[in-house]
Amino acid sequence: MSSFMGIELGIRALRAFQIGLETTGHNVANVNTPGYTRRRVRFANTPEFALSPQLRLGTGVMAQSIQRLRDMMLEQRVNTNAGDLARWSALSESLSAIEGLFNEPGEQGINAKLNALFNAFEELATRPDSLAARQQVLQAARSLTETLRTLHRNLTTLESQIQSQAVGTIEQANQLAQQLARLNEQIRAAHSSGAEAGDLLDQRDRLIGQLSELIGARAHYNNDGSVMLFVDGHTLVQDGAAFPLPTTIDLANRALDSTPTDIRIQSGQLRGLMDSLAQLQGYRADLNTFASTLITQVNAIHSTGYGLDGNTGYLFFSGTDASNIDLHPDVSDPMRIAASAVAGAPGNNGIALALANLRNAPQASLGGQSLTQFYRALVGRLGNDAQVSRNRAETQQLTVEHLHHLRESVSGVSLDEEAANLVRFQRSYQAAAKMVSTFDSLLQDLLQFVAPR
């Protein structure tokens, strides 16, 4: 037994508590760092010293390791759910934007404009010879066609925005995948040298989280701390290599075109954007069906009637769908609007009445619904889709918040706790220092006792 053993024990304790203090400092400093996982020093007693088989002496403490407190099962659940949240949020945002374009219910929407046109036809039926009534018909029709074209154009603009957002999402995911691949190498190198690379692992988990949100990627953790990342059957990251996703979208299958098999996207923002595109295209197709039925039906009736000029065969609308519906040049002169079913009878309103009756007439091309019913159903469907996706996003938000709470309760820094640790390590350090000085004075006493001789 060395005479300095007590001092050495004290110094070991001082060193261990210093590490404790520094770890606390690291935790406190990172209290606001997103994705930071709190660290904890694991202390262990150093091996005993046997004075005799019956007498074994303790030799103090050492900081055995710095633990990173993270529950990997929970981590996976957070990521899966965050991916679903990103999906529903993206869809909900798009649908809310589409809703805004429709302007319903209100005076500027298609419902109001369509009814204004039918009202104008009825007014014309009441006064088939009136120039004012004819101008009103043209004005109502012009306003309706403009609204239809504007809506179509805005939907198409939004479509290309979502499209480029989707491609941007894929490109961003590919970039992050490369970072993750590089990180894998660093983590592996650190691991082989025996160090726990806490900050690298934090960075790794942040990247996996982002990739889950973007494309719904799933991670497989290796023992050395590196990860493999999958999307559907596609390996996105393995060891130090990233295999980027293709950017060609197969919307019908919600997949990315790839050989040998397409990559299905099940979750994440990308899936939400794909769903948005499919929904948008559905609404636009309905809008086009509506517009083309309007064009065909009005023209079929109008062309059989007679204008005030006594001529027949005039068309009312030009165009084929919502993108290009317009007033036909035939009716650029209001006198040529065919209100009469009989040549030379300006008081006859047969055609105007038939046009007004289109308001509620069932149409085979609209599945037996009238024009107004079909449009209302379209708006109702859009509203319902938007509401459902918003509710899904809100519910998912609660789930994710709950999981975040669980994760934070394991991994988050609590300043109260750190303050308590600070006090604990400080007092322990003070006590260890006191111990060193006590052993020191014992030694001095011994030396004084011995020296004068």
Partner 1 sequence: MRISTEWQFRQMERAIGRGTERLSLWQRRTATGRRVEQPSDDPVGTVHALALRQQVAQIEQYGRNIREAKLFLQATEQAFADIGEVLSQVRQIVTQGANDTLTAEAREALIQQVRQLKQRLHQLGNQRPDGERYLFSGQNLHTAPFDIVGGAMVYNGDGNPLLVPIAPDRNLPMNFSGARIADLYNKLTEIENHLLSADSFTLSNTDLRDIEQFQSEFQRYRGEVGVRLRELQDYETLYASRKDQLLGNLADIEEIDLAEAISQLRQSELSYQAALQVFSRVHSLNLFDFLRGG
Residues binding partner 1 (CB under 8 A)? 31-32, 38, 95-96, 99-100, 102, 104-105, 111-112, 115-116, 118-119, 122-123, 125-130, 340, 342, 344-349, 353, 356, 359-360, 372, 375-377, 379-387, 390, 401, 404-405, 408-417, 419-420, 422-423, 426
- Which residue, chain included where needed, has tokens 């820094």? 413
Residue 121: CB minimum distance to partner 1, A: 9
Calpha distance 134→22 (Å, rounded)? 86
How far CA 30 is from CA of 349, 406, 413, in Å, comes to 81, 19, 8
Taking the least distance from each CB to partner 1, the nearer of 67 and 222 is: 67
Please, what is the end-to-end C-alpha distance for the chain in angstroms? 25
Which residue, 256 or 413, has its beta carbon nearer to partner 1? 413
CA dist 59 → 186, 226, 428 (Å):
37, 38, 16
Cα 107 to Cα 336: distance, rounded to the nearest angstrom: 29
CB 342, min distance to partner 1, A: 7
Minimum separation from the CB atom of position 67 to partner 1 (A): 15
Query: What's the CA gap between 442 and 450, in Å, rounded?
Result: 12
Q: Least distance in Å: CB of 126 to partner 1?
A: 5
Choose between 167 and 345: whose C-beta lies nearer to partner 1.
Answer: 345
Residue with smaller CB distance to partner 1, 57 or 69: 69
Residue 272 CB, shortest distance to partner 1, in Å, is 16
Closest distance to partner 1 from the beta carbon of 326 (Å): 23
Closest to partner 1 by CB, 111 vs 174, is 111
Is 269 or 340 the residue whose CB approaches partner 1 more closely?
340
CB of 127 to partner 1, least distance (A): 7
Measured from the CB atom, the residue of 128 and 319 that comes closer to partner 1 is 128
Here the tokens at position 228 are: 């493999």
- In DSSP terms, 306 is beta-bridged to 312, 340
Contacts of 141 by beta carbon, 8 Å cutoff, 6+ apart: 117, 120, 316, 317, 327
Q: Work out the number of other CB atoms within 10 angstroms of the CB of residue 444.
A: 11
Provide the CB-side half-sphere exposure for 229 (13 A, CA): 33
Give the residue among 41, 330, 37, 89 at the shortest CA–CA distance from 203.
37
